[in-house]
Structure 1
Amino acid sequence: MTRISTRAALAATVALFAVPAMPAFAQETPAAEDASDIATGNEITVIARRREERLLDVPIAISALNTDALERAGAKDLSGIQGAIPNVNIVQGRGSASSANFYIRGIGQPDALQTFDPAVGVYVDGVYLSRIQGALLNLFDVERVEVLRGPQGTLYGKNTIGGAVNVVSKKPHLDTVKGEAAFTYGRFDEVTAKGYVSAPLVTDKLALSLAGVYDDRDGIVTDPRTGRKYNDRNNLSGRGILRAKPTDTVEVLISGDYTRQRNAATLGYLTAPLIQTDFARGAVVLAPAEPYGPYDYKASTSLAPDQGQKLDHWGVSGTINVDLSDSFQLTSITAYRKLKTDFFIDIDATQFELGDVFVGVRQDQFSQELQLKYDADKLKGVFGLYYLNENVSSHQEAYADGLFAFNGAPITFLRTIDDKQVTKSYAAFGQLTYAFTEQLSMTAGLRYTHEKKTYNRCTVTASTLGLLNNIRYCFPDNLPAPFTGDNDVSYDAWTPMVSLSYKPTPDTLLYASASRGFKAGGFNGRVNSNGDISVTRNGVTTVVPNFEPETVWSYEAGAKGTFLDGRVNVSAAAFYTDYNNFQARVGNGTNVGLGGSFPVLNAGKLRIQGFEFDISVRPVQPLTLFASVGYLDADYKRFDDPRRLPPAGGAAFSCNPTGTQITCRPAFAPPLTLRAGGEYRVSLGDASLTLGGDVRFVDKQYLSVDNRPGLTEDGYLIGNLYAQVDFDKFYLRGAVKNVGNTLYKTDGQEFSSVGNIQTVYYGDPRTWNVTVGVRF
């Protein structure tokens, strides 16, 4: 099927589903709701604005997936919501099976390195996760996942410049024993066992819940040279929550969780010739692009069998809710988290040792948040104070024995790196909603953020060639004057928001909003020489020891509604975003650095605009149909680090950040994403049978900031099917994902200044599984 015909067919499907609700021009996120909720008129309740509200009443572009919706999506972890929400893209690959790198409306984290902050905040029961590593959380004991699109700084504790993913766990039941267990077997010897139980310890006063998951699957990528398997899964996780309610006005929640990951390396595939620098013969091609031909889940590596991925991630938190009066509630959220990763990554994905690295990260964070909530007849709001102290250090080793040679004789090369970053963040925020009438409301909020970062890094080389041996560089000690010793930066920002909402009927909502978002700047975590923090244009070299904060102004208008006793749910939103100082790691261009150069620049300006549309229709009781559309128009307005340098020749627009022209389109921003599907549920006496499925189209997108020719995904169509039989307490489910065995790329790595490395990662092939479960 051609791209044009695919788009036309899916657009026609969406239009067909939309016909019954078009005159109302209102909408909700129905594809994420439980079909039974639509049938009975029940609604999902969310806490997106730090208080319980109907999803329909929240004047924000928000989607919520409850337990049943997550199960139907086959969501083992947060990656399972991929495709369920328009203009939300989870970028997976980059050598790690555990990272949750969210892009919302084209805004995300372009480099997985720990010195970059996420642009989309992931929160678990109000606790912010500072790193994307280890953030692909298991969802078995989760009540729902709320995804808010656009800046949310006046409500949440930390960076939410692109949006927020709010994971809400099930609270232990104070008066009832409840539980669930499930066992899954699938292709590639997938074995998943899950269990959850909640029980009162003291009726109405004290309860405990425990959840555990074991998830194992063989690798889907084979090294033809050795027959070994890669890109597997081996995860173990657990969570316990203790809930106490000593009085009617006090509630205490103590939570602890642990995740353990032990799997082989995650391999991509080479898309450009791999180049060795021979000091006698010049450039030598070690491996061609696509060394095994068109991709067929084959790739090679120089990593040893025991050089895989290890992750340990745990945390504890305590939440106290106190009702001070009928109108005021005080909430305290105290949390400590610790992350340990030992990842071996073969960036070049070949048997040659040009881009093999070991990255061992040790991270811990302490956070404290206080919220004062007010709920009166006409005025509602929340005021908050937030503090975060994060320490993240790493030991890295870069192995490149294939990068250099002399007349065919190999030259060994090793770079060892040790660095540490300390971040302290303080914030005060507040948001109030005033109802002028039962129909008309206005919301206004303001946030103040102060953030300080300190960074130190030392690297040293070892090589059999004296020219490359024992070269030591330390940041900031080796910075040129006047920057010597400059390794700490502070940022302050005021970020307001305002919105106006109008409810023509109790079940419809119109709204418009404007909000400002902020993400702190920082340091280039790949600096190995002053060349990595220097930019040369027109013969002038400028040192840029740190990159600046990002800011956005986002403007949005939307509508949502439910009709015909909940049988029709629709929502729509249009947005326009001015995005300044995008933090981008680019190719070396005219920079010169030993073993490659990796400058980080602030792209001068982006403009992102688009719309989202969701609809769900239940024409008859057993049948539910749903569809969604996401459209993005994302463009660089300038990309030449204008904060430091004027555009070449005084031009008004430039897209050559280091003197090398690039394809001037933002990465991970597909112009069009479509999803359509349905579910049919019939009674079988004392049991019921549900048949469902969906099809998803993702348009062409770029997979790196520099947009190299091989680092693109040309667009794909993917479908999923499932069938489930529900008995009184037992259920049996079978599912097939990627029914058509579509080959599609999910991520790319561009290190062209090191041996011309340009690698892509692919999604899973066709998989199937069967699950048997029990609920009580």
Structure 2
Amino acid sequence: MNSLAFSSAIAIATALVGAQASWAQEPQQMEAAPTPTQEPAGQGLADIIVTAQKRAEPLQSVPVSVSAFSNDTLQKARVEGLTGLRGLVPGMTVTRSGAAVDVPQISLRGISIQDVLPSVEPGIGITLDGIPIAFQRGALIDAFDVQRVEVLRGPQGVLNGKNTTGGSINVVRLRPDPSADTTGRVRFTIGSFGQNDYEGYIMAPVVKDILAVKATVSVRKDKGQFRNIVTGGREGDRDVRQYSLAAVATPTDRLNIYVAFDRLENDSVIPPYVPTHVPDFITYPIPGYFGGFNSPCINPATQIVCSPLSGLDKGKNEVESTQLPASLRMTAGTGEISYDLTDEVTFTSLTGYREFHERQTSDFDATRFALFRDKAAVDAKQFSQEARFATSFSGPFNIVAGAFYMNYSYTERQNPSLDMAVLPDMDANGNVILTNGLPTFSTPPGVAFLNSLNRYRTYQTNKTFALFFQADYDITDQLRLTVGGRQTWDKKTTDYTLWAPVFSTVRDMDVVGPLVGQDTGRAKFKKFTPKVNLQYKFTPDILAYAQYSKGYNTGGFNGRPGNLITAVQAYQPETMEAYEVGLKTEFLNNRVRLNLSAFHNTLDDKQENVLQVVGTTNVTSTLNVAKAQYKGFEVELAVAPMRGWTISGSAGYLDAKYKDFVGNLGQGVQDLSSLRLRRVPKWTAGAISDYSFAAGPGTAGVNAAIFHTGRYETDVLNDPRGSIPPVTKIDLGARYELPVTGNTTIELAAFVKNVTNNTTYDGYTSGEAVGTFIEFANPSPGRQWGASLTARF
């Protein structure tokens, strides 16, 4: 990062805004129950009210790197869930996981989610109506009835807790208003690949000024976006149903009660895989590592298994394996009580419960022969409780302080079945039989299986308790000091059971082999994470800040170790130390908004999955063996050139690298620091333009968006097959809204996503370097189009 260039940019922006300060509008006073946006007078940009610091504040008054999107912005850009945020946030990538349904893979400022295991607690927090989501399953939240989405970048440990070293995504849904009239929206969408979506919500007062309710229904279906070259059909069908009931009660002027019940039913098919075996040896960046030598494409005896789709030059929307439908059932409840003890002190209680049950069978070899299938079941539940006080004194001092508790547990069962066609012939002593230096394979597919292969059951519990505070002190009218801290205590247990494989002439995904053993482990962790922020307001529209903070990703146990020794071996927490400076500006009569930030973060004791020698065998373990550094800058710009037209864009530069990484990834312990971190593009950028104008009796609008993501790695060894090339995607949309009667309108819209059909892989999995035949990639959707009819009332 060029610090001189960044300092110059801040100086220029400050000078420019200072020159226009006489045009700037004074910030609006916040209401007790703020709406997501407040329409500006004239042609300026809309103000967005956020709760990034546990209190309602205008976006431009928050000394934090945060991107916020209102419901109006999300709907016009056809953002359906978290994956739709791609390109909207600098330094952030979002894809859909290929290992399970409804799981996002997010990278933010270099901190990324790499695994879908329930034992893995990612370094990016996701909250729904203030309730943290402990597990990733079911986290692809529907955006239809969302009031706003806030993406906070950088460690958020003080107010948002552990596992937020990369940042936090806060989703806030629309709430019914007892003082408002009945409102609602219904939308029907049809599109490519058999898309057929039905969405709607209604908010209505039951007792005027005292009680209001909201009901939401969302059904999303399609027939799959990937063509199966064997069956001629399509793969990756989507079948998602979501239901929600909510109520708000205001029995007194000081008391506000919010409750919500949610149900998610997902019977979608797991996204298919593309096999990537190649008949060539591939040299990895680290000496001693090669790809391709275990490929079935090399040995003539196994070329029947070598897929015609192998290699990166084939169609990325074509697959040959058939995945089976999964079943995900999630139930959640939320309760919030807010009571104004005085005009200046508010007490808030947040209670959340969430549980899910998932069943799925995966085809991990990605070929038409279904050589390696795995049947999995996951059951999990969480309960959380937060209680806090917040002040709004007119004097120089204010504080937010509280306590937090969460109890999270899960059980996972996996039962793999391996076709012995992929295993080489062995003699009576267990030695591989070689012919002309190559192993011989004489077992054809479909006649012999190893069932219950490393079948296991993992049960883990996680109890967390924390105390936190954040205090503001106005040193002068323009200078504010913020100091905060959070003390977290974690207590974890694991119970792991392992079974041995069973030979059979038929595949049996339910058989239980002989018991190998069972063991339990316990661990405790604690950490204090501080924050110091200094902000200075040059004018009401120019805010500069500097911040130091720490983030904390908790330790734990590997939920999929494959052995009894490392199953109860705890890995330790990792800690992020972060420095950040930023500038937030508005000028030209609120027509231009420019925000800049720069950061330098260091992650110590980074957790990595490496090989560990146990006896004479290499086993996979999660160990604290690395240190990484992340530095970069981000720019966000919004412009309202004329009435009805807004343009917003962002760009992020990230320089991320290992500072130290010594471990074993298959060729013994060695220095691996030259490897590139996964899911860390150097550049991310995006822009959205929306224009609304009067047309006849109604209003027409057009929306265009462009997103760019630079090259990044998805394989820990930087296998070139897992290197995702730079990609640029374009979305287009048009709409026409016609008033019908009173406040009722009808809107007809059409859209095209990924106009140029620019496809890449979303992820890549390789086991060749450590002696397995697994080799596949996760394809990403191509061009999609559709039309929708929306009624608002």
**Range into which the TM-score falls when normalised by the shorter chain:** 0.7 to 0.9
> What is the CA distance between 1:680 and its match in structure 2?
2.5
Letter matched to residue 84 of structure 1 = L
Stretches of structure 2 that go unaligned for 5 or more consecutive residues are 1-8, 25-35, 279-291, 426-440, 506-511, 740-744
**Which residue pairs with 2:306 in the alignment?**
287
**Which residue pairs with 2:482 in the alignment?**
443
Work out the CA distance in 2 between the residues paired with 1:463 and 1:471: 8
**Which residue pairs with 1:463 in the alignment?**
502
Q: Residue 69 of structure 2: which of 31, 56, 65 is its match?
A: 65
Report if aligned partners of 1:734, 1:771 keep a CA contact under 8 Å in 2.
yes
Deviations 1:552-593 (A, max 9, x none): 00110000111112210110100000111222224x597899
Work out the CA distance in 2 between the residues paired with 1:691 and 1:89: 25
Deviations 1:519-563 (A, max 9, x none): 111111221126867xxxxxxxxxx92221111001100001111
Work out the CA distance in 2 between the residues paired with 1:126 and 1:667: 29
Instruction: Specify whether residues 764 and 663 from structure 1 end up closer, same or farther in structure 2 by C-alpha distance, changes over 3 A only.
Output: farther
Letter matched to residue 621 of structure 1 = R
Stretches of structure 1 that go unaligned for 5 or more consecutive residues are 1-15, 477-484, 534-543, 646-653
Matched, 1:512 2:551: no
**Which residue pairs with 1:625 in the alignment?**
647
Work out the CA distance in 1 between the residues paired with 2:295 and 2:84: 42
Work out the CA distance in 2 between the residues paired with 1:353 and 1:591: 31
Instruction: Specify whether residues 711 and 331 from structure 1 end up closer, same or farther in structure 2 by C-alpha distance, changes over 3 A only.
Output: same
Matched, 1:453 2:522: no
> What is the CA distance between 1:45 and its match in structure 2?
0.5
> What is the CA distance between 1:465 and its match in structure 2?
8.5
Deviations 1:478-520 (A, max 9, x none): xxxxxxx5x1111000000010001111112100101000011
Q: Residue 265 of structure 2: which of 249, 257, 260 is its match?
A: 260
Give 1:267-666 correspondences, 5 Å limit: 267-273=272-278, 284=302, 286-287=305-306, 290-291=309-310, 294-301=314-321, 303=323, 307-377=324-394, 378-402=396-420, 403-406=422-425, 407-409=441-443, 411-414=448-451, 415=453, 416-464=455-503, 470=513, 472-474=515-517, 476=519, 487-529=521-563, 545-586=569-610, 588=611, 597-640=619-662, 658-659=669-670, 664-666=675-677
> What is the CA distance between 1:114 and its match in structure 2?
1.1
Letter matched to residue 714 of structure 1 = P
Work out the CA distance in 2 between the residues paired with 1:60 and 1:606: 23
Report if aligned partners of 2:206, 2:213 keep a CA contact under 8 Å in 1.
yes
Instruction: Specify whether residues 549 and 391 from structure 1 end up closer, same or farther in structure 2 by C-alpha distance, changes over 3 A only.
Output: same
Letter matched to residue 295 of structure 1 = G
Report if aligned partners of 1:532, 1:599 keep a CA contact under 8 Å in 2.
yes
Equivalent residue of 2:102, what SS? Answer: strand
Report if aligned partners of 2:88, 2:649 keep a CA contact under 8 Å in 1.
no
**Which residue pairs with 1:769 in the alignment?**
786
Letter matched to residue 129 of structure 1 = I
Matched, 1:87 2:91: yes
Deviations 1:588-616 (A, max 9, x none): 5978998x943323242100000110112
Report if aligned partners of 1:35, 1:624 keep a CA contact under 8 Å in 2.
no
> What is the CA distance between 1:707 and its match in structure 2?
1.9
Letter matched to residue 56 of structure 2 = E
Report if aligned partners of 1:655, 1:664 keep a CA contact under 8 Å in 2.
no
Instruction: Specify whether residues 290 and 34 from structure 1 end up closer, same or farther in structure 2 by C-alpha distance, changes over 3 A only.
Output: farther
Instruction: Specify whether residues 90 and 686 from structure 1 end up closer, same or farther in structure 2 by C-alpha distance, changes over 3 A only.
Output: same
Letter matched to residue 563 of structure 1 = F
TM-score (norm 1): 0.87
> What is the CA distance between 1:413 and its match in structure 2?
1.3
> What is the CA distance between 1:657 and its match in structure 2?
7.8
Equivalent residue of 1:155, what SS? Answer: helix
Further displaced range: 693-702 or 220-229: 220-229
Report if aligned partners of 1:732, 1:772 keep a CA contact under 8 Å in 2.
yes
Matched, 1:751 2:753: no
Give 1:718-733 correspondences, 5 Å limit: 718-728=729-739, 729-733=745-749
Instruction: Specify whether residues 40 and 674 from structure 1 end up closer, same or farther in structure 2 by C-alpha distance, changes over 3 A only.
Output: closer
Work out the CA distance in 1 between the residues paired with 2:722 and 2:530: 37
Instruction: Specify whether residues 682 and 722 from structure 1 end up closer, same or farther in structure 2 by C-alpha distance, changes over 3 A only.
Output: same
Report if aligned partners of 2:38, 2:46 keep a CA contact under 8 Å in 1.
no
Aligned residues: 719
Letter matched to residue 410 of structure 2 = V
Report if aligned partners of 1:161, 1:519 keep a CA contact under 8 Å in 2.
yes
Report if aligned partners of 1:580, 1:604 keep a CA contact under 8 Å in 2.
yes
Work out the CA distance in 2 between the residues paired with 1:189 and 1:668: 31
Matched, 1:23 2:16: yes
Work out the CA distance in 2 between the residues paired with 1:513 and 1:389: 31
Work out the CA distance in 1 between the residues paired with 2:326 and 2:668: 34
Equivalent residue of 2:186, what SS? Answer: strand
Report if aligned partners of 2:470, 2:484 keep a CA contact under 8 Å in 1.
yes
% identical aligned pairs: 28
Deviations 1:98-147 (A, max 9, x none): 00232210102222211110211111111111111110011111100111
Work out the CA distance in 2 between the residues paired with 1:556 and 1:20: 18
Letter matched to residue 612 of structure 1 = E
Work out the CA distance in 2 between the residues paired with 1:657 and 1:239: 52
> What is the CA distance between 1:620 and its match in structure 2?
2.6
Give 1:98-117 correspondences, 5 Å limit: 98-117=102-121
Work out the CA distance in 2 between the residues paired with 1:497 and 1:283: 61
**Which residue pairs with 2:508 in the alignment?**
none
> What is the CA distance between 1:686 and its match in structure 2?
2.9
> What is the CA distance between 1:765 and its match in structure 2?
0.5
Equivalent residue of 2:73, what SS? Answer: helix
Instruction: Specify whether residues 289 and 189 from structure 1 end up closer, same or farther in structure 2 by C-alpha distance, changes over 3 A only.
Output: closer
Report if aligned partners of 1:110, 1:704 keep a CA contact under 8 Å in 2.
no
Instruction: Specify whether residues 525 and 718 from structure 1 end up closer, same or farther in structure 2 by C-alpha distance, changes over 3 A only.
Output: same
**Which residue pairs with 2:247 in the alignment?**
242
Instruction: Specify whether residues 749 and 425 from structure 1 end up closer, same or farther in structure 2 by C-alpha distance, changes over 3 A only.
Output: same
Instruction: Specify whether residues 662 and 640 from structure 1 end up closer, same or farther in structure 2 by C-alpha distance, changes over 3 A only.
Output: closer
RMSD of Structure 2 on Structure 1 (CA)? 3.1
Equivalent residue of 1:23, what SS? Answer: helix
Work out the CA distance in 2 between the residues paired with 1:218 and 1:308: 12
Instruction: Specify whether residues 621 and 35 from structure 1 end up closer, same or farther in structure 2 by C-alpha distance, changes over 3 A only.
Output: farther
Equivalent residue of 1:504, what SS? Answer: strand
Report if aligned partners of 1:310, 1:342 keep a CA contact under 8 Å in 2.
yes
Equivalent residue of 2:72, what SS? Answer: helix
Report if aligned partners of 1:118, 1:130 keep a CA contact under 8 Å in 2.
no
> What is the CA distance between 1:736 and its match in structure 2?
0.6
Report if aligned partners of 2:634, 2:652 keep a CA contact under 8 Å in 1.
yes
Equivalent residue of 2:728, what SS? Answer: strand
TM-score (norm 2): 0.85
Instruction: Specify whether residues 399 and 96 from structure 1 end up closer, same or farther in structure 2 by C-alpha distance, changes over 3 A only.
Output: same
Work out the CA distance in 2 between the residues paired with 1:453 and 1:78: 29
Equivalent residue of 1:400, what SS? Answer: strand
Instruction: Specify whether residues 424 and 702 from structure 1 end up closer, same or farther in structure 2 by C-alpha distance, changes over 3 A only.
Output: same
Deviations 1:19-57 (A, max 9, x none): 9998349999xxxx9896593454110111010100000
Report if aligned partners of 1:361, 1:394 keep a CA contact under 8 Å in 2.
yes
Letter matched to residue 105 of structure 1 = R
**Which residue pairs with 1:6 in the alignment?**
none
Instruction: Specify whether residues 657 and 531 from structure 1 end up closer, same or farther in structure 2 by C-alpha distance, changes over 3 A only.
Output: farther
**Which residue pairs with 1:189 in the alignment?**
194
Work out the CA distance in 1 between the residues paired with 2:404 and 2:46: 35
Report if aligned partners of 1:674, 1:696 keep a CA contact under 8 Å in 2.
yes
Work out the CA distance in 1 between the residues paired with 2:534 and 2:325: 51
**Which residue pairs with 2:690 in the alignment?**
679
Report if aligned partners of 1:713, 1:744 keep a CA contact under 8 Å in 2.
yes
Instruction: Specify whether residues 512 and 19 from structure 1 end up closer, same or farther in structure 2 by C-alpha distance, changes over 3 A only.
Output: closer
Report if aligned partners of 1:128, 1:157 keep a CA contact under 8 Å in 2.
no
Report if aligned partners of 2:348, 2:387 keep a CA contact under 8 Å in 1.
yes
Report if aligned partners of 1:433, 1:444 keep a CA contact under 8 Å in 2.
yes
> What is the CA distance between 1:660 and its match in structure 2?
8.1
